[in-house]
């Protein structure tokens, strides 16, 4: 199955601006993208609609990790997931150019909490995205499948189109 993640370029700029802001103690910021999905002849379309900012005081000061979010962040994301029947994608930034990668910690922690969204909305996919300043990678947890699938293609949709293929 090919998985294509689409995001309006205005929304992408909003996300990047937020994730680049410094935090009092966290090395990285995080947020959640809410969106919808549909099928295409090639597989699955994931369409981002809005972004949940994580307020400064929802982070936990933990020296072992670049950023740790508290229960308020996941609770807020769960609520949007439930209310809007939204596909939820955790997003954070590796602030460099080029294709980012999931760190071991990213993969481990994503595998721990992303499937929890199926407790709220088991019928739609959820996942995680790592942005760089110009590229993206992502994983998608598909309903009823244990292991996540790699997102094959990212498109920033706007004028001009942003780096079609990979963000």
Partner 1 sequence: MKEQFSRQCFLGADSEQLFASLRAGIVGLGGGGSHIAQQLAHLGVGHFALFDPDVMEMPNLNRTVGATHQDAVAGLPKVRIAERLITGVNPSAVVWPIQKPWQQDFLALRACDVVFGCLDGFTLRAQLEESCRRALIPLIDIGMDVHEASPYSIAGQMVSSMPGGPCFRCVQLFKEADLNEEAARYGAAGENPQVIWPNGILASTAIGFFVQLFTPWCDADNANAFIGYDGNRLGLEHDVRLAHAPRCGHFKGIADLGDPFWQAEL
Query: In this chain, which of 21, 22, 41, 112 binds partner 1, going by CB under 8 A?
Result: 41
- Point out which span in 14-22, 71-79, 107-115, 123-131 binds partner 1 (CB under 8 A): 123-131
Query: In this chain, which of 36, 53, 107, 152 binds partner 1, going by CB under 8 A?
Result: 36
Euclidean distance between CA atoms 157 and 10, whole angstroms: 9
Query: In this chain, which of 34, 77, 88, 131 binds partner 1, going by CB under 8 A?
Result: 34
Q: Does 40 bind partner 1 (CB under 8 A)?
A: yes
Q: Does 50 bind partner 1 (CB under 8 A)?
A: yes
Interface positions, 1-30, toward partner 1 (CB under 8 A): 6, 8, 10
Interface positions, 85-114, toward partner 1 (CB under 8 A): 86
Residues binding partner 1: number (CB under 8 A)? 32
* Residue 150: count of CB within 10 angstroms of its CB: 11
* Residue 99: count of CB within 10 angstroms of its CB: 14
Shortest distance in whole angstroms from residue 152 CB to partner 1? 12
State CA 142 to chain mean position distance: 14
* Residue 96: count of CB within 10 angstroms of its CB: 11
Measure Cα distances from 126 to 5, 95, 98, 118, 160 in Å: 12, 23, 24, 8, 28
Query: In this chain, which of 42, 56, 62, 95 binds partner 1, going by CB under 8 A?
Result: 42
Helices (H) and strands (E) in the chain, counts: 3, 11
Query: In this chain, which of 14, 18, 37, 53 binds partner 1, going by CB under 8 A?
Result: 37
């Amino acid at each position: 199955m090919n998985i294509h993640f689409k995001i309006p370029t205005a929304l992408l700029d909003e996300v990047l601006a937020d994730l680049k802001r410094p935090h009092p103690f966290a090395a990285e910021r995080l947020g959640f993208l809410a969106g919808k999905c549909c099928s295409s002849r090639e597989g699955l379309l994931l369409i981002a609609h809005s972004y949940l900012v994580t307020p400064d005081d929802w982070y936990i000061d933990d020296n072992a990790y670049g950023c740790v979010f508290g229960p308020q962040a996941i609770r807020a994301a769960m609520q949007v997931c439930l209310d809007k029947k939204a596909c939820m994608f955790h997003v954070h930034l590796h602030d460099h150019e080029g294709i980012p990668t999931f760190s071991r910690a990213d993969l481990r922690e994503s595998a721990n909490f992303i499937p929890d969204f199926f407790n709220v909305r088991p019928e739609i996919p959820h996942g995680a995205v790592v942005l760089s300043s110009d590229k993206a990678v992502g994983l998608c947890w598909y309903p009823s499948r244990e292991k996540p699938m790699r997102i094959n293609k990212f498109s920033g949709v706007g004028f001009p189109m942003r780096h079609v293929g990979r963000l």
